């Protein structure tokens, strides 16, 4: 796991993921995602929600047991939406890093870089098995850049073009 200053492009795409997260109808955790190629072109976006055609009822989304069985995570939606080889690409996720299942999909898709805010929320850290995500990314040499959410607002983006 690394924490460092982010480039203006990393900031832009992470802010876009933050914006896309608002499209989720999940009343508790709205997650957004952007997949970007090495030329800084957006390949796909995603947000967490129920599968296409399945009713987003408040009863389903408010019941954690049902919601967790039905929801498609933002990362999975973006990977599915891309419909192409994602080798060497970057994935930006807001407001939390990918869970262990999404981390597996990111690895299998060939994505080489994951950028997400750092979280101190112990409930989320444990529920999403972030330690397993970090372990898998490390073993597969995927770059995990966890940033301080406060770094998105400042102007210190001169660390990369």
Q: What is the pLDDT of residues 65-110, one digit of tens each?
A: 999 999 999 999 999 999 999 999 999 999 999 999 999 999 999 9
Q: Report pLDDT for 84.
A: 95
- The pLDDT assigned to 1 comes to 42
Q: For position 157, what pLDDT does the model report?
A: 46
Strand ranges for 20-148 from DSSP E: 32-36, 42-47, 90-94, 113-117, 143-147
Closest Cα partner for 18 from 138, 116, 135?
Answer: 116
pLDDT value at position 155? 52
pLDDT at 4: 57
Decide: helix, strand or coil at residue 143.
strand
Residue of 75, 134, 139, 158 with catalytic role: 75
Kindly list the strands in the beta sheet with 113-117, ordered across the sheet, starting from the edge strand earlier in the chain: 42-47, 32-36, 90-94, 113-117, 143-147
Strand partners, 75: none
CA 97 remoteness from chain centre: 6
Given a contact cutoff of 8 angstroms between Cβ atoms, the answer to whether 151 and 6 are in contact is yes
Give catalytic status of residue 75 as yes or no.
yes
DSSP SS3 for 75: helix
Residues of the chain below pLDDT 70: 1-5, 154-161
Query: What's the predicted TM-score (pTM) here?
Result: 0.90
């Amino acid at each position: 796991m690394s924490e460092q200053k982010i480039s203006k492009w990393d900031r832009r795409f992470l802010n876009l993921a933050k914006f896309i997260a608002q499209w989720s109808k999940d009343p508790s955790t709205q997650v957004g995602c952007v997949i970007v190629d090495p030329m800084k072109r957006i390949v796909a976006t995603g947000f967490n929600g129920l599968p296409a055609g399945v009713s987003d009822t408040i009863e389903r989304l408010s019941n954690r047991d049902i919601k967790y069985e039905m929801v498609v995570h933002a990362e999975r939606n973006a990977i599915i939406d891309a419909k192409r080889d994602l080798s060497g690409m970057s994935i930006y996720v807001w407001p939390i890093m990918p869970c262990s299942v999404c981390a597996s999909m990111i690895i299998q898709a060939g994505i080489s870089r994951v950028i997400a805010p750092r979280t101190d929320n112990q409930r989320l850290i444990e529920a999403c098995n972030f330690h397993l995500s970090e372990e898998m990314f490390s073993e597969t040499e995927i770059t995990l850049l966890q940033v301080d959410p406060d770094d998105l607002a400042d102007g210190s983006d001169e660390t990369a073009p």
